[in-house]
Structure 1
Amino acid sequence: MSELVLRNLLIYEQFSDVNKYVTSYVYAMDMLIDTPEDVAILVKSKVLTNLSSSNENAANMINGLVKFVSIPDFFYDQQWKDMDAYYNSYWPNTLAGLKGKYFNNPWNVIALIGALVLFALTVVQTFFTIKAANATNVTK
Structure 2
Amino acid sequence: MRISIVCDTYLDYIIELRDELEVVWDKINEKYKNIKEPNTIGFAFRCLPDEIGRKTFRRFDKDDAYLTLDIATSYEKYKKMYKTEIRHDLGYTFYNYLEESLKKYKFKEINTKELLSDIKNWCNEIGWLEEEVDYSKDLDYPE
Per the shorter chain, which TM-score range? under 0.3
Q: Which has the higher contact order (CA 8 A, sep 6+)?
A: 2
